[in-house]
């Protein structure tokens, strides 16, 4: 799968001007918007929730909203994010009692389902879920904050994931989230990721178009 998508994480945007920030990255060439939901329990940070997803959906009716739940007990909330307007909802399996059921509920609500794998989390979670997933999110940092450094072992994990997906015959998008920059987008893409999330590397720059282009160019000039 080499359909490259760039998904700016709005976590690093100016929340006081969220609609303008979203429109600016979309105008600058963003493919998806990555929406980080944190509950102060599963991760030591609190961000946004259902009302903001609802507002984004109504302000941006055709934009692909990629919602990343970093919350305890996602089972009770995941489908509600689809109802609020998310196109895709990812959650962390360790936080869930019944990941398979939660995947089903996301899809029954009309959304795409993603499984988010932390740096210390095994890929084994995917074995019995891959056929029902639309996306696997591989964290390049520990979840909770933007602006952290990419953990190098993520690349080995991406290559292992690629092999596993081939073995299972599963066709899913592979997303990398955390620490993605123009300097590492080439090796991340070459290792098998096709959806690149970037927060600080885009919103931390004054020219969002140049920032997105730099990541896209780095990724697409590599031989896969």
As annotated, the active-site residues are 36, 177
Residue 36 makes contact with Zn ion by CB under 5 A: yes
Q: Which of 25, 177, 188, 194 binds Zn ion (CB under 5 A)?
A: 177
92 lies in the binding site for Zn ion (CB under 5 A): no
199 binds ligand DX5 (CB under 6 A): yes
201 contributes a contact to ligand DX5 by CB under 6 A: yes
Q: Which residue has the tokens 């081939």?
A: 166
Q: In terms of CB distance, is 34 or 216 closer to Zn ion?
A: 34
Work out whether 105 is an interface residue with Zn ion (CB under 5 A): no
Long-range contacts of residues 60-63, Cβ cutoff 8 Å, at least 24 apart:
60/22, 60/23, 60/26, 60/33, 63/22, 63/26, 63/32, 63/33
Is 66 among the residues that bind Zn ion (CB under 5 A)?
A: no
Judged by CB under 6 A, which stretch of 24-32, 84-92, 195-203, 212-220 contacts ligand DX5? 195-203
Q: Which of 65, 95, 136, 180 binds ligand DX5 (CB under 6 A)?
A: 180
Type and span of the H or E element at 106:
helix 99-108
CB of 147 to ligand DX5, least distance (A): 5
Q: Does 39 bind Zn ion (CB under 5 A)?
A: no
Q: What distance in Å separates the CA atoms of residue 88 and residue 71, rounded to the nearest whole number?
A: 16
121 near ligand DX5, judged by CB under 6 A: no
Kindly tell me which residue out of 29, 119, 144, 209 binds ligand DX5, with binding defined by CB under 6 A. 144
Total of chain residues touching Zn ion, rule CB under 5 A: 3
Rounded to the nearest whole angstrom, what is the least distance from the CB of residue 48 to ligand DX5 in the complex? 12
Read off φ and ψ for residue 100, nearest 5 degrees. -65, -45
């Amino acid at each position: 799968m080499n359909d490259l998508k760039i998904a700016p994480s709005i976590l690093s945007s100016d929340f006081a001007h969220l609609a303008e920030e979203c429109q600016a990255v979309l105008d600058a060439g963003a493919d998806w918007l990555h929406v980080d939901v944190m509950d102060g329990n599963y991760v030591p940070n609190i961000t946004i929730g259902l009302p903001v997803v609802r507002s984004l959906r109504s302000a941006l009716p055709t934009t692909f909203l990629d919602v990343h739940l970093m919350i305890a007990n996602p089972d009770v909330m995941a489908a509600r994010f689809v109802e609020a307007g998310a196109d895709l909802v990812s959650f962390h399996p360790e936080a869930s009692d019944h990941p398979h059921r939660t995947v089903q509920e996301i899809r029954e609500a009309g959304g795409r389902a993603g499984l988010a794998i932390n740096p210390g989390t095994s890929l084994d979670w995917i074995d019995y879920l891959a056929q029902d997933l639309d996306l696997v999110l591989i964290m390049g940092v520990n979840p909770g904050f933007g602006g952290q450094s990419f953990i190098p072992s993520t690349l080995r994990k991406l290559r292992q994931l690629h092999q596993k997906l081939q073995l299972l015959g599963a066709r899913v998008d592979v997303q990398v989230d955390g620490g993605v920059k123009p300097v590492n987008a080439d090796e991340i893409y070459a290792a098998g990721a096709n959806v690149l999330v970037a927060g600080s590397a885009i919103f931390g720059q004054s020219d969002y178009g140049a920032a997105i282009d730099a990541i896209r160019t780095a990724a697409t000039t590599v031989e896969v």
